[in-house]
């Protein structure tokens, strides 16, 4: 499912207009992105939480050539699945 499909599903299930649904979806992902850019944590009960992890500089290797490369310090968002989502995703397996 992509963003457009998310918007039309929200439009249908919430009985709101397409442009309203588009705004809501935009607000949702924009505020998450902005929080991560600020280095802020995100906690959406039942779905997931995110925090930004700081990685120090390290010597990595180009997997193709085996060459050593210095990796600069970086930040990456770290995702943790919420309890409800984890249980629901897993239950259909059996």
Q: Considering the rule CB under 8 A, would residue 58 count as an interface residue with another protein?
A: no
3-state secondary structure of 65: coil
Considering the complex, what minimum distance in angstroms separates the CB of residue 84 from another protein?
7
Q: Which two tokens stand for residue 70?
A: 């210095």
**Between 4 and 61, CB nearer to another protein:** 4
Q: Considering the rule CB under 8 A, would residue 42 count as an interface residue with another protein?
A: yes
Give the residue, chosen from 18, 37, 57, 83, that forms a contact with another protein under the rule CB under 8 A. Answer: 37
**Between 69 and 89, CB nearer to another protein:** 89
From residue 90, give the alpha-carbon distance in Å to each of 30, 41, 81: 28, 25, 12
- What are the DSSP calls for 14-50, one per residue? HT--HHHHHHHHHHHHHHHHHHHHTT--EEETTTEEE
Number of residues in contact with another protein, rule: CB under 8 A? 49
Q: Considering the rule CB under 8 A, would residue 70 count as an interface residue with another protein?
A: no
């Amino acid at each position: 499912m992509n963003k457009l499909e998310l918007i039309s599903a929200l439009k249908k299930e919430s009985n709101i207009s397409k442009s309203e649904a588009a705004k809501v979806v935009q607000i949702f992902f924009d505020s998450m992105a902005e929080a991560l850019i600020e280095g802020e944590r995100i906690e959406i009960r039942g779905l997931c939480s995110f925090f930004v992890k700081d990685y120090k500089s390290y010597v990595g290797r180009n997997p193709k050539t085996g060459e050593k490369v210095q990796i600069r310090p970086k930040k990456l968002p770290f995702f943790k699945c919420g309890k409800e989502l984890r249980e629901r995703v897993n239950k259909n397996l059996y």
